[in-house]
Amino acid sequence: MTISMYAASVPVFQRQLGALGKIFDKAAAHAAARKTPEANYLQTRLYPDMLPLVRQMHIAADFAKGTPALLAGVEPPKYEDNEASFAECKARIDKTLAYVATFKPEQIDGSAGKDITRTIAGAPMTFKGGIYLAHFAMPNFYFHVATAYPILRYCGVEIGKRDFIGGM
């Protein structure tokens, strides 16, 4: 069975980013019920040298919008990283999902052999599209979505594996 570059990216970003948005809804309800400032959650990190929850969301959203754009050969939109509430985070996720939904299979399929250049740690790196998607973009996306989950569990938000996986 072969899978298209579109099928391996856009629907996955949509499902997982949508699940992250629903997890953030549960976190907002949890914070409201406990009268805890949302900033306490958004700035939580699991270890001092790790990024806080809000940055995990930023990076996941950036991979979700940037990867299809790079594969399609278009410039992704730039968003300010200034979200300070769950509602603002959810709006960013929704804006990202709306952008990702604009891509069509014919824009992305066939990009497996295309050169994709990204600046990483200050140095340009070039990947073939298929390698970029499977070995760089998707692992990074999943890392940041998956890291948001235990941060919220650490904060006491009652979420489980089904929340992380999202709708199938």
CATH number at residue 124: 1.20.120.450
Exposure string over 129-166, b if 16+ CB within 10 A, otherwise e: bbebbbebbbeebeebbebbbebbbebebebeeebbeb
For residue 134, the enclosing domain spans 10-165
Residue 3 lies in a domain: no
C-alpha distance from residue 106 to each of 7, 73, 125 (Å): 11, 12, 25
Tell me the CB-side half-sphere exposure of residue 5, using CA atoms within 13 A. Answer: 26
The continuous run of DSSP H or E covering 118 comes out as strand 115-120
Give the number of domains in the chain. Answer: 1
Residue 5 lies in a domain: no
The continuous run of DSSP H or E covering 35 comes out as none
At residue 1, does pLDDT exceed 90? no
Amino acid at 98: A
At residue 166, does pLDDT exceed 90? no
Give the distance from CA 18 to its chain's centroid: 9
Residue 127 lies in a domain: yes
CB-based contact 77:122 (threshold 8 Å): no
Specify which residues 128 forms β-bridges with.
115
> Rounded mean pLDDT of 31-45?
98
Amino acid at 70: L
Residue 31 lies in a domain: yes
At residue 81, does pLDDT exceed 80? yes
End-to-end CA distance of the chain: 20
Q: Give the pLDDT of residue 97.
A: 98
Residue 48 lies in a domain: yes
Residue 1 lies in a domain: no
Q: Say what percent of the chain tops pLDDT 90.
A: 92
> Rounded distance, CA 36 to CA 135, Å?
39
> Rounded mean pLDDT of 67-84?
96
At residue 168, does pLDDT exceed 60? no
Residue 90 lies in a domain: yes
